[in-house]
Amino acid sequence: MRVLVTGGAGFIGSHVVDAFVADGHEVRVLDALLPAVHPVGSTPRLPDGVEFSHGDVRDPAAVDRALDGVEAVCHQGAMVGLGIDVQDMPEYAGINGLGTAVLLAAMARADVGRLVLASSMVVYGEGRYECPVDGVVPAAPRRRADLDAGRFEPPCPTCGRQLAWGTVGEETPTDPRNTYAATKLHQEHLAAAWAASTGGGAIALRYHNVYGPHMPRDTPYSGVAAIFRSALETGHAPRVFEDGGQQRDFVHVTDVARANLRALLAPPPDAALRAYNVASGHPHTVGDMARALAAAFGGPDPQITGEYRIGDVRHVVASPARAERELDFRAEVTFADGMRAFATAPLRPAP
């Protein structure tokens, strides 16, 4: 199959390209090499035979050229992470929202009807919670006063009691709580509208906390695993926000790449868009991850800071059951093995 991978020179995108090529597909990459994540003048790390097109997904002419002769699109190109502050909003909306709209319009012109979209677990906001009195409830937004006082667990919105977290399935109502999350959900809505209008098929892969070789070094848009690795390399303790008890599902990038391959080869969904959690199914806390990395690297031990970021969520843990059932996808890299390897894996040079 001839496949266009947008953002294919990036962290996750480059691993997706590797997986597609290894499976015998012809791959073209469209990437703007934005300086937020790519050093100026850097050369993309791509396998032999992959065609590289330097262009911005917001540029209709560049996208039209990149789609020539393509049978499917794997849309990895996006601005990721929490960023710096609300001044990032226009760029997030432009790259993630407008860029996706430009791509989808061009796919309709080129009669390309197959899309795999890189989405994110951030569309869920806080995960699934249950109150001992009121049952399953949406978590109330966390208040600055509580966070300042070290009360990090979201309360029951009805009675204020402590909630117990659970796993979220794809049917869980979405509740984006920061700019990045809002734009990732917007991508899903645009893809669903495109599929309904054109008869195309769209699969959205909701990645959980992805880590692995070639993550970008410590930038405002890095994942927490890369931030901790960068600290360790400079001899500093990883600084763990809140109390370190935030539950996450850390999934290795090679597993994420395999999920993309499974989605590419899967039959088109009956609905306009079908979403899948891409997760290991074995949650760990952020503190667990920091300690595992520090131990594998040889220290120093993590520092629990009590700091917080508005827009961060407390717990979000996914059920991987739908992806196992419908895509035959199961994560293979264990947390222990993955963190041990990541402690010394190469990172992308800082921009």
Could you report the per-residue pLDDT of 91-114, keeping only the tens digit for each? 999 999 999 999 999 999 999 999
**pLDDT of the residue at 350:** 63
In the chain the beta strands, taken as DSSP E runs, fall at 2-6, 26-31, 51-54, 72-75, 114-120, 128-131, 135-137, 164-168, 201-207, 209-211, 239-240, 247-248, 250-252, 273-278, 284-285, 303-304, 317-318
Rounded to 10 deg, the angle between the 286-297 and 224-233 helix axes is: 30
Residue bearing tokens 């734009």: 183
Q: pLDDT per residue over 166-213, tens digit each?
A: 999 999 999 898 899 999 999 999 999 999 999 999 999 999 999 999
Q: Which domains does the chain have, with CATH numbers?
A: 2-127+168-343 (3.40.50.720), 128-167 (no CATH)
Closest C-alpha to 171, from 319, 298, 39: 319
**CA-CA distance, 165 to 288, in Å (whole number)?**
17
- Residue-wise pLDDT for 9-64, tens only, equals 999 999 999 999 999 999 999 999 987 777 777 788 899 999 999 999 999 999 99
Choose the weakest-confidence range: 59-63, 115-119, 158-162: 158-162
> Would you say the pTM of this structure is higher than 0.75?
yes
Single out the residue of 185, 248, 207 nearest to residue 16, CA to CA.
207
**Reduced to 3 states, what is the DSSP secondary structure of residue 266?**
coil
Beta carbons of 334 and 248 less than 8 angstroms apart = no
- pLDDT score, position 264: 97
Query: Is 65's pLDDT higher than 80?
Result: yes
Question: What letter does residue 88 receive in the DSSP assignment?
Answer: G
pLDDT number for residue 36: 75
* Contact yes or no for 118/158 (Cβ under 8 A): no
Tokens standing for residue 290 = 């920091």
pLDDT value of residue 313: 86
CA 63/CA 38 separation, integer angstroms: 20
- Alpha carbon 112 to its chain's center: 24
**Residues 75/116, Cβ–Cβ less than 8 Å:** yes
Average pLDDT over residues 333-337: 97
Query: Where is pLDDT greater, at 271 or 64?
Result: 64
Q: Provide the token pair at 265.
A: 């080869």
